[in-house]
Structure 1
């Protein structure tokens, strides 16, 4: 029935722009992705996969976007250990509206205890060991493997925690599939070692208040990771490319960028948007580039339409063009048709920028300082010799 349901939902409709498979059943998501590939291969697919095997299967037939929340969190954790500044930048730019930039403690180097060695626990162990950290696992079915010390148990009692070396540990991961168990693990562990860095897995949104009350250093909620990844890849695909390159720039680069954005935009999570120099994305600018031969530079998109000498509250994070890609492009770079830019800024700046993108008269003022009259009567009059000056026009 699945193919019939997809067709009934409009899979082959000319307006179908994509299919998202986010059920909690890997086989169902796999079936959706495969059906789309066979019935309408031009439609992009975004699918959730909780197992690496499923993710590999999805990748084998070119699923466009695969989200494994456990593997994604593992990468976040590894990044937080290796480059706290880059981790903070990623969390800030992908944060939900209302999230505020705040000082964060980086996961420390030293011995770690991981409770629960299922899909999530394995990703955490893989991430920590990748950074050269020593790890002991606690699991009811624990078996030593790949040189990892293992202790049988759950971790809710002091005995297995002590056997795993929690007294000399710097951090603990509570990663079972039960929320009460996870909270019990970290509470017991902190009674033994007060300054432990805690990473806690939250399985159910209904338990949000309990996890807020505990205030772990990092709380992993798989549904939030999936939501963030979906929004980033659908709404602003350039953001994923930017973050991938940003991770490679080093700690100092990330710290400087965070400081720069904080100074210009404040501490609240900025709005992220992209602008394409195309007829649909920026009609007025695309026309000037393609038909009128006007030179338009990156900085022109940051000019205030009310006063071109004033900058809007936004920064350009990334430029993608047929020539090259650039992180933090400078204002003097000339744009070409088809170029795409990624912005971070305040909502008011985005609304003001739309005038430059869509209105020819606003574009001319912003780019060259020419304040053309807006109404059709004034446009006709200004084409005549000795045309009158528009009332209220800027000098």
Structure 2
């Protein structure tokens, strides 16, 4: 067969196999990259042997790497790095150095390498994490703007920048020991000269060139010019003795700050994606499945070593930069893998003789397995944290990182509005509230946002808005309202739930990051849920309707109906199965439990409004499965609880235990005509220091004491031996006349407190 046809057939085979592998991986909800790797293994020389011209395919794959790094350079944003510059530059650099040092020590001790230079090379490979896999996982979970997402992306950017330096210095490691210093110096000098030239070209040559190409208004010419620029700089770096990958990355950087960067990226991305598929498939061709099987125990051991080693390096580093413990743990687990660009280093190292074929194969196998494990680890993290927080000793350890890092002076303590999150939406809310004279307190976890608050002299708490300790410091029980505009769904749900634990009557408005969160947030107790995309649609339509001559009052009424219906007319129709799956997934990320209702439970026959479960126990009822098999997701307040129901509950362990007591009839349920109120026990109250048994409130007044809220902790259905302390909030349930009597009695000798403190708040 002619050589040209052979190459074409090989390319068609690779791309077809990669496409099939990618589709299967997507259908199985796995990283598409994994599908490309497996496709390469199957059709490669160690599989079916369909590819004959492996060298030429590898050459094209190298072109794919160049385009990958080129687009990475174009996407690189100094402004994004600025958000987490301290942890990115300091933590990222320290992580690489510590990983290399640890690898050198371990590999020399275990005899895996024969010289320190080989250990340095191996450490460089292990120090890189996967930008592609981690970024995709964060995008899928809408967590790129979260503190842990920003930390991981910041460290990944520094790792990607370090790749260019590693590729430049790599040839020097193959020199004799006494020449390494000189070789590294020459390599660094070459990089410096090249960087200076790149800066001059980026400032004086690239902008006018792109403007010239753009003025032609020809997509083909613009793409041709950009590709020629990318490959030209890549070839130049290869001629200088540096890597073409580094040249491609620098070419992208020279374009990243130009006004045509987005246009360039839009044109090059399809070519990048095609070449990336070719690259990962070519990597798969280099992996020998038989070798992996024969060395499975060793590879799994190396995988465990990589995960544990990088986790133990990254987690303390992130914590060292004053990030909460949970953020540090997520970052440590999320970056505990070997990245796709390690393949590039490994290939270069093998050609330079830094590693043997066996070590090279082990590196390939270990990298492939860590890339496979990472998405599973990131998906399981919420479930792992829910489980950890169910164990008292682990919960107390995790909560140590949830204390406020900093509290501004003179923060408001009464009649204020709390804004959780100081992003773009949060800033607008704060500005409008302050213009109307309202007292505002902001909670945020980003050092950059806190610095803006300091400069604007806006009261703030630097900490996790989902932390009970932080919410207590915000005096949430005395607040007038709260707006939650946090960047990720999980923090939003936890912040909402814990805020209502501390202040059940608080008026809370929440931004839903995704439309599937709307019902969940309402079920957790939000008074109002706003979805930005739907709100934009409503405002645009309102403007158009006014222009078309429709009456303004009628337009406002229709829009308000849509809001009252939770945007149901705008949301995509989902099958019952899809709704159920989304609910199950969301519930897994919180502390949830299916609870079969006991026979003869006093809850049977009551509506959810009558049971008032959230105020009495703190749990949220997310779904009901009837004995007939009927499933009700997100039941409303008029839903009746039937005998034999199976209830999906979300709540903390003590809340779930409180619900169980209520469901079994171990504690009394308020009568149908009863209402409940939270009553603050002031420091001068006559009941302080007395036990509930001594006070005997149920017998004297016919009022039930359902809960005590003390320093942010709930005591559900307290026993008679429990004493009353100043500052306690008592949840009392009974008829309105009896509640008034109890309230007057408890506050009868309190003459030093304000009228606001003496007010009992009715909650049902």
When normalised by structure 1's length, the TM-score is 0.33
More helix by share: 2
* Greater strand fraction, Structure 1 or Structure 2: 1
TM (norm. structure 2) is 0.18
